[in-house]
Structures are given as structure tokens and as C-alpha cells.
Amino acid sequence: MHGSGSIETAKAGGGTPDLPRPPSPRPQEAPLGPLATLFVLRRNPVETWTKAHYEKPILLGNSILGMTAVVTDPKAIRRVLSENAGNYRKDWLQRRVLSPGLGEGLLTVEGEAWKVQRRTLAPLFTPKTVAGFTDTMVAASETLIARWQRQRPGRVIDVHAEMGRATLDVLSRTIFSDGIGEKPQEFMRIFSDYLQSIGSLDPVDLFNLPSFVPRMNHLKNRAALGFFKEAVEAIIVKRRARLESDPQSTPRDLLTLLLEAADPETQDHLSEDEVYANVLTFIGAGHETTANALTWSLYLLSLAPDWGERLAAEADAAFAGPAETLVDRLVQTRAVIEEAMRLYPPVASLTREAIDADDLCGRRIRKGTLVMMPPWLLHRHRLLWDNPDHFDPRRFLPGAREKIDRFAYLPFGAGPRICIGATFALQEGCILLAAIMRHFRLEHVESHEVVPVQRVTLRPKDGMPMILRRRVRA
């Protein structure tokens, strides 16, 4: 249906003066039948939502996914993700899609194993540790700027691919700061291919077949994973040896912190498999998510040139000050990223399975119900936001930001399983976006239809071609 009217295209103003209305799927008038649901789910899950989903706080029903409750009431979400979190676990659908790639890493483990890993890994992502990565992130932004400065002005670049490259660069510099082995180019290429291929829903996943049933996506990935595992294991062995022989000179990057991490209660370290699974998890969970947040930010800025000017001025002033506090000065830049993640949440779906019965919004939730709290719907809900489909970063400026209900805006989730990398991602996003806006202006290619498509992350269909222009300073 793309190009045939299912996507409402971008309009400057779009009925609300001065606010751009970027493209989004037109809500369905009524629920789709089972076959159509399957078809649309496979193509693009955000196209399945009906008008009622955008207007009602809770909708219960039976779908091809079994008993489901679609919940967008912030109080009910608070109950599921926080107050009664013990009654809700990550559901089979998530485990099925993510586990084969990410194994026993923090994102996919459950129960006691998750508790131990979470407290062991917490020190890797404290604000202080993350602030220590500022210089590394600035260095990665300089590499990106230098690469773009070599391009002919007016050239069309795929911003989505470019952001993927930049966020992978940040992760490889913060995890493996002394390099990624003997074949860095091949390592990056294979890993990037692997990341591209995970995450589309396989029909086998939807029908909940046992995990020994082969999945097309996962079979394709086996070779890439094998190469990656070998390369990372070699890096880990080398790093362990260095830590033993010369701890003083060993870089304090995420790999060293992972190898040194100890459970504060038992002093136990992570096993070899857990170290490997978490390297993969940090890259898998932190690469495309952040790249998408940046891609959507740059696209939205192309629809609102006044915000582009503001960010360029803010970045000029911010980069002139001390590096330690750089991110604190990028207030408007952060507001743009937060608004981009409202309209296009990189993780567009958050789901849990009810272990026991519960009550949400006065409705009975039966044991085993799949509870869906999709940030995509929540962030555009008619009861929760003014001009829900319009780009308006002012909502996230100090003074307004505090009025947003904690459980109405969930780009990073909430409760005990909130994204451990949120501070890292926001800091990285602010630095990369500010560095870009200082030097460049990106224009949307008019002939390219922008379609948000949900895989594991919400990405632009067929990339994001944009015209690269140098910023002319006043």
C-alpha cells in the first residue's frame, strides 16, 4: 500500500501553523482480519493500529498473537513496568526474535540471571563513566565531519547508512579502544551486514514454533556470527593478557570494564560467554537505535529550518566551552532528539507477558496475556499530546519537559528493565548531531518518499537520501 495512500506524507504546517507534520501511516478505520493482520505485520507493524488505538487508553482482544491488551494509559503502564513489574516478563515474541543473536546478554536474560547481570553491569553506564567517553565521542564526530567535508557539496548521501557507520564507530571506539583485531574493515562490514539482517519478523516467530525450527533470518546469520565470535574472542584473550601483564597501560574502555565487572554482592565476575554476549548486546542494542534517532532528527530538521539554525548557533557556542560540560550546553539539540524519538521511537514496541492475572484500567488481564505498550502509539496518543503528529521540540525544553508524565514518553522504556545505555545514547546523539549541524545543512530529497517501517527498530524504508550542503557562517 506504500505510495497508494496508506502513508500520510509530510506537510509544512499540516493544518497547525508553523509546525511540520512528518509522514506516518494513516490509522486503520477498523481492525484488520487475521490474514490481513499477518500480511501487514510482516510488512510494517505500525500500519496495523486503528483509530481506536490512538484514542482509547486500553483495548483488549484476541489476535493472531493470542490474548492481547494494548495499553496506552500511563498509570497502567506504570503498573506493568514498575509497580507490579514482578508479574510481567519479557514475552516469547521478544525472546524468539532477539535471543538467537544476543544470547545470554542483559537484554534477553530473565529472572535471577538478569538481576545479577544488571547489578554487575550498572557501573559501566553511570553518568560519570559515560561522561568519561565524551572525548572519544567527539573524536568519532570529527571523523564523520572530515569524511563529509571530502564530499562534493550538493551530493546526495544516505543519512541512515552514514549514521549507522558513525554509531558503530562510537561503539567500537568505546568498547575496543585499541582496535578490533587484524581485519577491522572486514569485521565492520560483516557485523554491519549481520545487524541489518536481524530483526525482521520471521513468520515462524509469529506462530510460536519451537526454537529448533530453522528460521530464515537466523540461518543467514550463522556465518557472520561465527566470524564475529572468533574475532571478539581473540580480542578478549589479548585484552586479558594485557590486563595481567600491564594493567596501568590498559585502556579503560567498556571491554576492560566488562572484564573487571564484579557482582557487588558475591564479587563474581562474568563468564566468558557472558562477556561475549554483552559485547554483542551493547552493539546490537546501541547501534541502530541511536543511528535511527539521529536519522529521524536530521530529517525532521530538514522540515524545520529555523530549528536547524538554532542548533547550529547552539553548537558553535557549546563547542567553544570545556569538553566535560559540552553535553549540558546542548539543550535544544537534546530537545530535538527527544522530539524525534517521540515521533519515531527507535524501539516502537514494548511488550510483556502477564505471569498471573491482574487489573489494568479497571479491566481484567488474564494470565498469559500479551501486554503491548507501543511507544509508537503512546507518543502519538490523542489523549496525551497536543498536536500529536506534529514536530514541536519546544515540548522538551526545560520548563515544559517536566510536565510530561514519566509513563507517557518511553523511548528507553521504564522500571527495572529501562535501557541501561540511555545516558550513553543521549550523550552520543547530542555530540554527533551538534557536530553535524555546526558544519552542514541537510536537505530532504523531494522525490524520495519517507516511510517509517518497523523492524526490530523503527527505520526509514529504503534509507534516507539527503542533499549535503555546507553551512555558511554569518
Q: Give the binding site for ligand HEM (CB under 6 A).
A: 106-107, 118, 281-282, 285-286, 289-290, 293, 346-347, 350, 411-413, 417, 419-421, 424-425
In the complex, least distance from residue 100 CB atom to ligand HEM, rounded to whole angstroms? 17
Pick between residue 40 and residue 279 the one whose CB is nearest to ligand HEM: 279
Q: Give me the least distance between CB of 437 and ligand HEM, in Å please.
A: 18
Q: Which is nearer to ligand HEM, 100 or 411 (CB)?
A: 411
Write out the three cell numbers for 403: 510536565
Task: Please list, in sequence order, all residues whose beta carbon lies within 8 angstroms of the beta carbon of residue 40, skipping any fewer than 6 positions away.
Answer: 32, 47, 48
Q: What angle do CA 102, 105, 109 make, to 5 degrees?
A: 105
Q: Which residues pair with 156 in a beta bridge?
A: 467
Closest separation between CB of residue 407 and ligand HEM, Å?
13
Q: What distance in Å separates the CA atoms of residue 275 and residue 269, rounded to the nearest whole number? A: 9
Q: Least separation, in Å, of the C-beta of 115 and ligand HEM?
A: 9
Question: CB 61 → ligand HEM: shortest distance, Å?
Answer: 21
Q: Quick one: 311 or 425, whose CB is closer to ligand HEM?
A: 425
Quote the least distance from Cβ 378 to ligand HEM, whole Å: 12
Sheet strands side by side (includes 156-158): 156-158, 465-470, 440-444
- Exposure b/e, 345-354, CB count within 10 A at least 16 = b: bbbbbbbbbb
Cβ-based nearer residue to ligand HEM, 63 or 82: 82
Question: Grid coordinates representing 297?
Answer: 532528527
Nearest residue to ligand HEM on Cβ basis? 421
Of 14 and 421, CB closest to ligand HEM: 421
Distance CA 381, CA 20 (A): 18
Burial bucket for residue 206 (CB in 10 Å: 0-12, 13-18, 19+):
middle
Task: Catalogue the long-range contacts made by 47-55 (C-beta closer than 8 Å, 24 or more residues apart).
Answer: 47/1, 47/6, 49/25, 49/374, 49/376, 49/377, 51/27, 53/27, 53/377, 54/27, 54/377, 54/380, 54/381, 54/382, 54/388, 55/381, 55/382, 55/383
- Cβ proximity to ligand HEM: between 116 and 467 the closer is 116
Tell me whether residue 31 or residue 123 sits nearer to ligand HEM (CB atom).
Answer: 123
Residue 250 CB, shortest distance to ligand HEM, in Å, is 20
